Amino acid sequence: MFLILSCEKPSKVERKLDNIFYDRAFDYREDNKPDSAFLYFNRAKDIFQQQKDSFGIGKCLVNMAIISTDKGDYYGGQEISLNAVSYLNSNNEASLVYIKSNFNNLGISSFNLKNYTQAIEFYQKSLLFTKDTAAILVIKNNIANAYRKKKQYQKSIDIYQDILRQPINKQEFARTLSNFAFTKWLQNPHYDAKRDLLKALHIREKENNSWGQNASYSHLSDYYSIIQPDSALEYATKMNIVANRLNSPDDRIESLEKLIKLSTPVDTKRYFGLYQKLNDSIQTSRNTAKNQFALIRYDAEKNKADNLKLQKDNTEKKFQIIKQRILLFTVLFITLTISVVSILWYKKRKQRLELEAENSIRNSQLKISKKVHDVVANGLYRVMTEIENQDIINKEHVLDKIEDLYEKSRDISYDKPEPVYNHFHEKISALLLAFATEHTLIAIAGNTPELWEKVSSKNKFEIEHILQELMVNMKKHSKASNVVVKFEELRDQFFIHYTDNGIGLPKEMQFKNGLTNTGNRIKSIHGEITFDTKVERGLKIQLSCPVS
- Burial class for 388, CB neighbours closer than 10 Å (0-12, 13-18, 19+): exposed
The pLDDT of residue 344: 87
C-alpha of 474 from chain center = 24
The pLDDT of residue 295: 61
The pLDDT of residue 330: 80
The pLDDT of residue 242: 95
The pLDDT of residue 319: 76
- The enclosing H or E element of 455 equals none
Which of 451, 512, 523 minimizes the C-alpha distance to 485?
Answer: 451
CB 236 within 8 A of CB 255: yes
Higher pLDDT among residues 407 and 129, named by residue: 129
3-state secondary structure 304-349: HHHHHHHHHHHHHHHHHHHHHHHHHHHHHHHHHHHHHHHHHHHHHH
The pLDDT of residue 13: 35
CB 516 within 8 A of CB 493: no
The pLDDT of residue 16: 41
Is 60 exceeded by the pLDDT of residue 416? no
Count CB-CB contacts under 10 A for residue 269: 14
Please give the average per-residue pLDDT across 46-60, as a whole number: 93
Please give the average per-residue pLDDT across 335-340, as a whole number: 82
Is 70 exceeded by the pLDDT of residue 305? no
pLDDT confidence of 98, banded at 50, 70, 90?
Answer: very high
DSSP-derived secondary structure for 30-77: HTT-HHHHHHHHHHHHHHHHHTT-HHHHHHHHHHHHHHHHHTT-HHHH
Is 60 exceeded by the pLDDT of residue 512? no
Task: Give the C-alpha separation, 458 to 524, whole Å.
Answer: 10
Is 70 exceeded by the pLDDT of residue 301? no
Q: Which domains does the chain have, with CATH numbers?
A: 12-295 (1.25.40.10), 360-416 (no CATH), 418-546 (3.30.565.10)
Between strands 493-500 and 482-490, the pairing is antiparallel
Among 183-197, 308-322, 521-535, the range with the most confident prediction by mean pLDDT is: 183-197
How far apart, in Å, are the Cα atoms of 334 and each of 63, 73, 322, 337? 49, 44, 18, 5
Which of 543, 150, 521 minimizes the C-alpha distance to 370?
Answer: 521
Please give the average per-residue pLDDT across 188-205, as a whole number: 95
Count CB-CB contacts under 10 A for residue 458: 12
Please give the average per-residue pLDDT across 86-112, as a whole number: 94
Please give the average per-residue pLDDT across 295-311, as a whole number: 55
Higher pLDDT among residues 304 and 429, named by residue: 429
The pLDDT of residue 9: 42
What counts of helices (H) and strands (E) characterise the chain?
22, 5
pLDDT confidence of 296, banded at 50, 70, 90?
Answer: low
pLDDT confidence of 192, banded at 50, 70, 90?
Answer: very high
Higher pLDDT among residues 77 and 296, named by residue: 77
Please give the average per-residue pLDDT across 166-172, as a whole number: 91
pLDDT confidence of 477, banded at 50, 70, 90?
Answer: confident
DSSP-derived secondary structure for 82-135: HHHHTT--TTSGGGHHHHHHHHHHHHHHHHHTT-HHHHHHHHHHHHHT---HHH
Per DSSP, what are the bridge partners of residue 444? 485
Higher pLDDT among residues 308 and 355, named by residue: 355
pLDDT confidence of 137, banded at 50, 70, 90?
Answer: very high
Is 70 exceeded by the pLDDT of residue 175? yes
The pLDDT of residue 202: 97
Q: Give the CA-trace dihedral at 87, 92, 98, 104, to 10 degrees.
A: 90
Higher pLDDT among residues 512 and 93, named by residue: 93
pLDDT confidence of 388, banded at 50, 70, 90?
Answer: low
Which of 97, 100, 102, 142 minimizes the C-alpha distance to 119?
Answer: 142
Per DSSP, what are the bridge partners of residue 484? 443, 499
Is 50 exceeded by the pLDDT of residue 4? no
Crossing angle for the helix pair 210-227 and 170-187, to the nearest 10 degrees: 20
Task: Give the C-alpha separation, 39 to 132, whole Å.
Answer: 31
pTM more than 0.85: no
The pLDDT of residue 11: 40
Lowest mean pLDDT among 67-81, 229-243, 310-324, 492-506: 310-324
Per DSSP, what are the bridge partners of residue 483? 442, 500
Between strands 539-546 and 493-500, the pairing is antiparallel
